[in-house]
């Protein structure tokens, strides 16, 4: 098991290095001259050259790369041209908001998707299964902006149950920043009122974000469960008199969870990279909006920073999935 863990961690480190190479290469082959961009549109030739020297852009490419990596190691992602603030600081501000949303959406996706998929497999081709199938297909098919607007209209405008947008009520101050995730920070501060407010604001965007994810988790889990439920060891468990629900929820689910876990890991990365629509509709100041507005402004460093951060998260998610795989399936531990 230890060998397995070490192997996975090393592999993740290797992937991270690959990702850094890619972002570095992209920023160097991109058509615009970073020095000219940094110096601004009205800069003279001399000013551009000065900037070039200042940023070390006149040095050989391998030196630039070493500098890029050592900067990253110190958490220096460079500066944003638009805001002139350090990209690291901005990421630390926007990322927790997105992460909070994605974590909620993921929780919803797993907690609803896995049981529904399981039940769907148990009642295969019965009315319940058909109903769930319609639900799952709409989850994949409904565009996020439309679904978000409909939810806002229904629950915020008409029923007035939930707030329309934003992370908190305008009147209530944000909790003292520790993680910058309002739900966590308000809990740390013991401020239940702010927690309730933050939670009410997060419900609708989390539902919209999680719907496609929930649907794909559900479908994968259903397909796996259908297959596992016809396995020989399930027949044997029945023959030995184990109760039907225990067979489904313990004996079969653990086996069916393996491919479902892989899907969950993929969906996590996918969600992080696709929050922009939900963030726009719900006016959620997250990393998606930050990346898109920076890209439109031709502001390179923030885009690279976001790419690296999402990539890193993706890798961590896959590492966690790999480790869970090893925990769930003893055969993997032995195979190493």
Partner 1 sequence: MAAAPLLAIHDYRLVFDGFEGTAHVLDGIDLELGAAETLGVVGETGCGKSVLAKSVLRLLPSPPARVVAGSIRFEGVDILAANDRAMRAIRGPRVAMIFQDPATFLNPVFTIGQQLLDVIAAHEREKPKAERRARAAMRAHAVSLLQQVRLPDAEALMGRYPHQLSGGMRQRVLIAMALSGAPALLIADEPTTALDVTIQAQVLRLIADLVRDLGLAVMMISHDLGVVASTCRRVVVMYSGTIVEDAPIARIFAQARHPYTKGLLAAIPTLAGSAAKLSGIAGSIPNLIAPPPGCRFHPRCPLAVERCRAEKPALRDFGGGHRVACHRAEES
Question: Which parts of this chain interact with partner 1 (CB under 8 A)?
Answer: 230-233, 235-244, 246, 250-251, 254-255, 328-331, 334
Nearer CB in complex with partner 1: 320/332: 332
Nearest distance from residue 128's CB to partner 1, in Å? 17
Nearer CB in complex with partner 1: 178/235: 235
For residue 206, with 0-12 CB atoms within 10 Å meaning exposed, 13-18 middle and 19 or more buried, which class applies?
buried
Nearer CB in complex with partner 1: 70/243: 243
DSSP 8-class letter at 284:
-
Tell me the two tokens of residue 24: 């570095």
Nearer CB in complex with partner 1: 53/254: 254
Tell me the two tokens of residue 36: 């000219």
Nearer CB in complex with partner 1: 14/334: 334
DSSP 8-class letter at 29:
H
Nearest distance from residue 130's CB to partner 1, in Å? 17
Nearest distance from residue 329's CB to partner 1, in Å? 6
Tell me the two tokens of residue 131: 């109903």
Nearest distance from residue 175's CB to partner 1, in Å? 42
Distance, CA of 205 to CA of 165 (rounded, Å): 8
Tell me the two tokens of residue 47: 């000013």
Nearer CB in complex with partner 1: 8/251: 251
Q: How many residues does the chain have?
A: 336
Distance, CA of 114 to CA of 120 (rounded, Å): 10
Element (H, E) at 245: helix 244-246
Nearest distance from residue 334's CB to partner 1, in Å? 7
Distance, CA of 93 to CA of 55 (rounded, Å): 25
3-class secondary structure, 59: coil
Nearest distance from residue 231's CB to partner 1, in Å? 7
């Amino acid at each position: 098991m230890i060998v397995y863990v070490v192997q996975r961690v090393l592999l993740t480190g290797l992937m991270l290095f690959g990702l850094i190479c890619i972002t570095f290469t992209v920023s160097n082959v991109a058509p615009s001259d970073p020095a000219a961009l940094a110096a601004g549109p009205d800069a003279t030739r001399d000013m551009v050259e000065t900037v070039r020297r200042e940023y070390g852009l006149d040095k050989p490419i391998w030196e630039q790369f070493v500098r890029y990596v050592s900067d990253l190691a110190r958490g220096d992602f460079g500066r944003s041209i638009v805001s002139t603030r350090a990209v690291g600081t901005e990421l630390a501000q926007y990322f927790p908001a997105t992460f909070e949303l994605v974590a909620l959406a993921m929780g919803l996706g797993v907690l609803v998707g896995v049981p529904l998929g399981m039940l769907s497999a148990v009642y295969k081709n019965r009315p319940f299964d058909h109903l769930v199938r319609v639900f799952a297909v709409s989850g994949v098919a409904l565009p996020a902006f439309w679904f978000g607007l409909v939810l806002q209209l229904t629950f915020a405008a008409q029923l007035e149950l939930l707030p329309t947008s934003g992370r908190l009520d305008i009147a209530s101050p944000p909790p003292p920043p520790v993680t910058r995730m309002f739900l966590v920070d308000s809990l740390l501060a013991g401020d239940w009122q702010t927690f309730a407010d933050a939670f009410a604001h997060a419900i609708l965007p989390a539902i919209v974000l999680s719907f496609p994810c929930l649907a794909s988790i559900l479908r994968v889990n259903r397909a796996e469960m259908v297959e596992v439920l016809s396995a020989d060891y399930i027949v044997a468990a029945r023959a030995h008199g184990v109760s039907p629900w225990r067979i489904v929820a313990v004996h079969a689910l653990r086996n069916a969870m393996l491919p479902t876990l892989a899907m969950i890991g993929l969906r996590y990365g996918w969600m992080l990279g696709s929050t922009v629509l939900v963030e726009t509709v719900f006016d959620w100041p997250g990393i998606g909006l930050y990346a898109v507005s920076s890209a439109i402004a031709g502001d390179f460093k923030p885009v690279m920073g976001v790419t690296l951060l999402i990539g890193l998260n993706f890798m961590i998610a896959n590492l966690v999935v790999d480790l869970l795989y090893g925990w769930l399936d003893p055969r993997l531990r032995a195979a190493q």
